[in-house]
Structure 1
Amino acid sequence: MRQLELRHLRCIVCVAKHLHFSHAAEELEIAAPSLTKQIQEAERLLGVRLFHRTKRSVALTAAGAAYLAEVTPVFDQLARGAERALLAERGELGRVEVGYVGSAAFAGVLRHAVGGFRKAHPRIEITIREVPMDRVPAMLSDGQLDAAYVRPPMQFLEGIQATTVYEDSFVVALPADSELAASPVVSPGQLRDQCFVLPEQEAGTFELARRGHFSPRLGPQPGTLTAVVACVSLGDYVAVVPQTLVDCLSLPGVEYRPITGKPIPSEIALAYRQYERAPAVRAFLEYAKTDSAAAKRRSAAI
């Protein structure tokens, strides 16, 4: 048995709107005889008359009014569905999962990129979560994350790439009662006999040891930077951490000191899938990269 098609519904709704076949045919951009044929076919398939028609007037029948009351919400929903599909295609609707390491939040990178993007794209749902840095490549590859703020260098799986969005340098976190804390700056060589807590990003620690010509004595690797600094506060360890922590992570018993010599560079990078297909995710990546470039220009102008 044949059923009504979308073309029939369009004709019914349009005729009910105008109660005039010629006006409805004009809106639908079809010939009036063709519209009449569509309505007659719909009535035959439904087994009821939808409209009272005379030479001078058109009116809904009781059956037509009852049918229209059920059809109109569905028709409106179809229109909303088409609109949402178009917004999604334009990258104005969707969902983005962003992971980050703690220092991205400390540096303000996360706030600027995610906060600004939410204002610019209110229909896109964007969620954030702190994740262990060593899990980021796999989470990006299998779709658990769409983008992630990390501290290079790190190894990425094939198809994952990263763009630097923030430039920083390393400092040393010391116990406040350490003799070294009495100095305004600390040289790599002065840390030769210390035990180092290792952040997720180990590169700063090993570069400092290389410059000081020693092999570092390694302690725990507790995970987040907050946990690293908490270990330092206990008094038995030092740690090489990003400069961004100095102004935003203050724990009792911890002092930060610059390291002498050429700054040891530290960066925050945005990692993502190289061939991203989702328009909403592409929109976020473009915004985050543009925001980073603007921040660098502002910094250079100061």
Structure 2
Amino acid sequence: MDIRHFRYFLAVARQRNFTRAAEQLGIAPPTLSRQIQDMETSLGTRLFIRQQREVSLTDAGAALLIEAEATVRQFEFAQRNAQRAGRGEIGHLELGYVASAVYSGVLQRQMQGFCQAFPDVSVNVRECAMAILPGAVADGRCDIGYVRSPMTLPDGVEAVRLDSEGFVLALPQDSWLLGLKVIHCEHLQNETFILPEQISGTLHVAAQGGFAPRLGPQPGGLVAVVALVSLGQGVAVVPASVVGHVSLPGVVYRPIQGSEAASWLSLIHRRFERAPAVVRYMQLVKAQALP
């Protein structure tokens, strides 16, 4: 027997008539009758008491009815789940991000849009060090990641460019620079720079100011960077989205006049990704990405 026989059996049990059941199934009554006979032969017992106008279940048929309904229901559930998984409507995502993706609001907007569109996809979200996130995507520990670009990516990993933003200067509250009405790049040539994970802003500001930067520690995430600034260990060139989101005692943010330094968030993913749920997320993000 196979699932088809269970469907035939259920149709006859519900209709209590072979002709009506055959019409419902779209087959000829003799064909349906033979299929039920095959079931009875296979089971070694009668399932129906046949009368002139209708049929009724035997005790064996009544017992089978409960199990047949559960079997067909589970079979249909399995089919639907397989189809939904193939369409990316269910599944699981491992998502890594750097803190500035949260400060900018990009991660929140895109996650909310995805979860509304695909509520049955579970997403595990965790903050990661930017130095390890591309490798985690490449080797499958993360499916997708939000990083701050520009940065070098491993083979097989690609990036979708997202929101761009400029940089600001994080200063200790007693810095002499706060006495200036406007801070230019060249004013920073004697400063020690606390380095965020993405150092392109620091290097760009130094290049615009015409000096080689004095590089201080690189403590990790942006909160750790700003914390060292608050302790008077130096200044830091940080993404503008940090302002208003990382507020520590002893730290003042100022624009850098004339600086053209900019960075942007990127969604990174494996180049030949085939997992439907991951592909769905990427499609959503690409539809929202800047041209």
Partner of 1:57: 54
Correspondence list, 1:101-180, <5 A: 101-180=98-177
Any idea what SS the aligned residue of 2:131 has? helix
Q: Distance in 2 between matches of 1:137 and 1:189?
A: 34
Assess if the C-alpha contact under 8 Å between 1:184 and 1:257 holds in 2: no
Q: Distance in 2 between matches of 1:135 and 1:83?
A: 37
1:223 to 2:213 alignment: no
1:54 maps to amino acid = Q
State the 1:276 CA deviation: 1.8
1:201 maps to amino acid = Q
2:280 to 277, 280, 283: 283
- CA-to-partner distance for each residue in 1:258-301, whole Å, 9 max, x for gaps? 112142111111111222212221111111222334xx9xxxxx
Any idea what SS the aligned residue of 1:276 has? coil
**Structure 1: gaps (5+ residues):** 297-302
State the 1:213 CA deviation: 2.1
Against the structure 1 CA distance between its residues 253 and 45, is the aligned structure 2 distance closer, same or farther, given a 3 Å change threshold?
Answer: same
State the 1:151 CA deviation: 0.7
1:285 maps to amino acid = M
Q: Distance in 2 between matches of 1:278 and 1:74?
A: 29
Partner of 1:41: 38
1:210 maps to amino acid = A
Assess if the C-alpha contact under 8 Å between 2:208 and 2:259 holds in 1: no
2:8 to 8, 11, 16: 11
TM-score of the superposed pair, with normalisation by structure 2: 0.95
Any idea what SS the aligned residue of 1:168 has? strand
1:242 to 215, 239, 243: 239
Assess if the C-alpha contact under 8 Å between 2:3 and 2:72 holds in 1: no
Correspondence list, 1:257-272, <5 A: 257-272=254-269
Q: Distance in 1 between matches of 2:138 and 2:24?
A: 49
Against the structure 1 CA distance between its residues 122 and 199, is the aligned structure 2 distance closer, same or farther, given a 3 Å change threshold?
Answer: same
- CA-to-partner distance for each residue in 1:18-74, whole Å, 9 max, x for gaps? 111112212222221111111111111111211111122111111111111122112
State the 1:163 CA deviation: 1.5
2:250 to 247, 250, 253: 253
1:10 maps to amino acid = R
Assess if the C-alpha contact under 8 Å between 1:166 and 1:267 holds in 2: yes
Q: Distance in 2 between matches of 1:223 and 1:60?
A: 72
- CA-to-partner distance for each residue in 1:226-253, whole Å, 9 max, x for gaps? 1111111101211110001112211110
1:37 maps to amino acid = R
Percent same amino acid at aligned positions?
Answer: 45
2:85 maps to amino acid = A
Any idea what SS the aligned residue of 2:6 has? helix
Assess if the C-alpha contact under 8 Å between 1:140 and 1:273 holds in 2: yes
Assess if the C-alpha contact under 8 Å between 1:171 and 1:243 holds in 2: yes
Q: Distance in 1 between matches of 2:223 and 2:179?
A: 23
2:282 maps to amino acid = L
1:202 to 2:161 alignment: no
Any idea what SS the aligned residue of 1:150 has? strand
State the 1:91 CA deviation: 2.2
1:229 maps to amino acid = V
2:186 to 185, 189, 201: 189
Assess if the C-alpha contact under 8 Å between 2:191 and 2:234 holds in 1: yes
Assess if the C-alpha contact under 8 Å between 2:160 and 2:289 holds in 1: no
1:111 maps to amino acid = Q
